[in-house]
Structure 1
């Protein structure tokens, strides 16, 4: 359930691209930028937003490019790290504060690392979850390294071909997908069996934890019904353009 006092607005961050932004707390409070991962939304930060707002911070949680109520450019090339960091730079400028606290999770953590590398002047402090900083390997691009270690059945490799993962995801309704993900009992395997889909590979009985309600699941299901999963999958399809690579052993889905 959405906490009281959340404000919603659209911010133009690039030509033809607007981000949906949820905010809570005083507008003149120190800004905390909350950056979600895959497959998530601003909504994943709702409890943290309420806590931050109660302490006088301005909690700012966008739906990242390709997610929720934000715009989703159709081209996979529109999801490079330069686009994603550029979106956050434009959002920080819109907030009117010279620096912000940044908190990232999963892919949001990786984008936050890149923001610190490319525009350290905008970041007052950083807290990241799930994805540790890892320099780019001299042994090859991120996907080359993953393929060499794990083969083509690593889930990040399976996500690469446009349309393939989308067709697999379409086999399940969105409520089922999110109940499966949030109901995982063990970390997800990075290597997917050839005869199983991504969701069939998860150790989950579909029972959500007590802090996640049917209303919460419905919110996720409705938003992903609107945009689909292509925007989020395109982050994986631009992996080789990142300054650093995803340390897959620390991914949120493990």
Structure 2
């Protein structure tokens, strides 16, 4: 399959690997798209796994609804359930990075029957994140979330000068130039950046639905070079998982784990799925 529909929206999907392989859903974050997994997916295919990587709500050109309320967590979770239904899958392994990780945490808590295993890259459990906001330096690391609540200004700042500010942000994180170019071009599409930022603007709605305890086997991968997410929430995450839980720490890797540590990510995901 190369696309699926939900509530009048059409989502692009990269469906690859052996048809009879165990299915692994790969969920990207901000400001990425499904190409974030281009280095990870082939290694998973070599291990006999099938991957389904959607361009999520706001990133697929035909799935950019207006209004920040359309991007609350309940909606983004339902998008993934619709993907599983369209693919005829009662359940799948879920791997998420950044916002994709948050969707993964919610899936594992709200719909454990649809999640065989969960791998969350970078982002801790939302409950641990909330605690860390008041007990550590996490609020300072997350300053941009406040900026993103403003209307129009973030878009103007990030896209000014042919996306110079966004380009600097991604390059500073160590992303290869080809990845930077691809993500900046995608965010320059009509309505793309506003839709992507609306995931943050929908946080007041999403906060009304606590994620709660996750009851599926969980692997959490965090990197010491992550400027956005600190150690406090990472270390507190285990208390929100009532199942097998493992924390893997990648040394000297920045936030962009799928792009910068693809081989190690594929190894960890494969072992978690097989385990």
* Structure 2 unaligned regions, length at least 5: 213-227, 234-254, 257-275
Number of aligned pairs?
A: 212
Task: Report Cα offsets for 1:64-91 as digits up to 9, x if no partner.
Answer: 1001445110111100111100000000
Question: Take 1:150 and 1:133, find their aligned partners in 2: how far apart are those partners?
Answer: 15
Structure 2 SS opposite 1:131: coil
2:182 matches 1:219? yes
Structure 1 SS opposite 2:125: coil
Task: Report Cα offsets for 1:204-246 as digits up to 9, x if no partner.
Answer: xxxx65xx353x443323322224311111111111323249x
Q: Which residue of 2 aligns with 1:37?
A: 29
Compared CA separation, residues 70 and 109, structure 1 to 2 (3 A): farther
Match of 1:117 among 109, 117, 130: 109
Structure 1 SS opposite 2:43: helix
Compared CA separation, residues 131 and 52, structure 1 to 2 (3 A): same
2:151 matches 1:162? yes
CA RMSD in angstroms, aligned pairs only: 3.0
Segments of 4+ moved more than 6 angstroms: 136-139
The answer to whether the 8 Å contact 2:27/2:97 transfers is: yes
Match of 1:104 among 96, 102, 105: 96
**What displacement does 1:118 show?**
1.2
The answer to whether the 8 Å contact 1:63/1:70 transfers is: no
Structure 1 SS opposite 2:95: strand
Compared CA separation, residues 80 and 134, structure 1 to 2 (3 A): closer
The answer to whether the 8 Å contact 1:19/1:70 transfers is: yes
The answer to whether the 8 Å contact 1:69/1:223 transfers is: no
Question: Take 1:219 and 1:46, find their aligned partners in 2: how far apart are those partners?
Answer: 12
Q: Map of 1:7-86 to 2, 5 A cutoff? A: 9-12=2-5, 14-86=6-78
In the superposition, the TM-score normalised over structure 1's length comes to 0.73
Structure 2 SS opposite 1:232: helix
Match of 1:173 among 162, 168, 173: 162
Task: Report Cα offsets for 1:178-221 as digits up to 9, x if no partner.
Answer: 54233226xxxxxxxxxxxxxxxxxxxxxx65xx353x443323
**What displacement does 1:138 show?**
9.2
Question: Take 1:183 and 1:138, find their aligned partners in 2: how far apart are those partners?
Answer: 28
* Structure 1 unaligned regions, length at least 5: 1-7, 186-207
**What displacement does 1:11 show?**
0.7
Task: Report Cα offsets for 1:135-193 as digits up to 9, x if no partner.
Answer: 28999xx99x69xx959x9211111022121121221323x4554233226xxxxxxxx
The answer to whether the 8 Å contact 1:68/1:223 transfers is: no
2:182 matches 1:182? no
Question: Take 2:143 and 2:185, find their aligned partners in 1: how far apart are those partners?
Answer: 29
Structure 2 SS opposite 1:58: strand
**What displacement does 1:101 show?**
0.5
The answer to whether the 8 Å contact 2:10/2:60 transfers is: no
Compared CA separation, residues 136 and 49, structure 1 to 2 (3 A): closer
